[in-house]
Amino acid sequence: MSNKKLDIEFRNAVARVNAHTEPFPADTLLKLYAYYKIATNDYGRPRSKKPIINAFKTNALFQAKNITEDKAKQNYIDLVNNYFLYRK
């Protein structure tokens, strides 16, 4: 997939997640968080007011640390597509 097409699909997936009004499962949210942070090259520290949430986010980033920006975008897209395809 070309970089331009990947960027467009990534932005569409992000918009789809942002428009969704129902809560996502926690494991899905953490994966989306990690992939988004890597895909957008945003490695700032998690900023939740709850230390436990920051710990989970940091762990999610750690688990995805060895993937490239493009791979993170593709993983994000795939996760969003699968979530909406298989959700009940």
Q: Any idea where the domains of the chain sit in the sequence?
A: 3-86
Q: Which CATH architecture has domain 3-86?
A: Up-down Bundle (1.20)
Q: What amino acid is encoded at 81 in this protein?
A: N
pLDDT of residue 10: 97
* Residue from 33, 41, 40, 83 nearest 63 by CA: 33
Mean pLDDT calculated for residue range 32-42: 94
- Interacting residues of 53 by C-beta distance below 8 A, sequence separation 6+: 46
* Residue from 24, 41, 42, 40 nearest 79 by CA: 24
pLDDT of residue 42: 86
Q: How confident is the model at residue 49 (pLDDT cuts 50, 70, 90)?
A: confident
pLDDT of residue 88: 55
Q: How confident is the model at residue 43 (pLDDT cuts 50, 70, 90)?
A: confident
Q: What amino acid is encoded at 13 in this protein?
A: A
How far is the C-alpha of 33 from the C-alpha of 27, rounded, in Å? 10
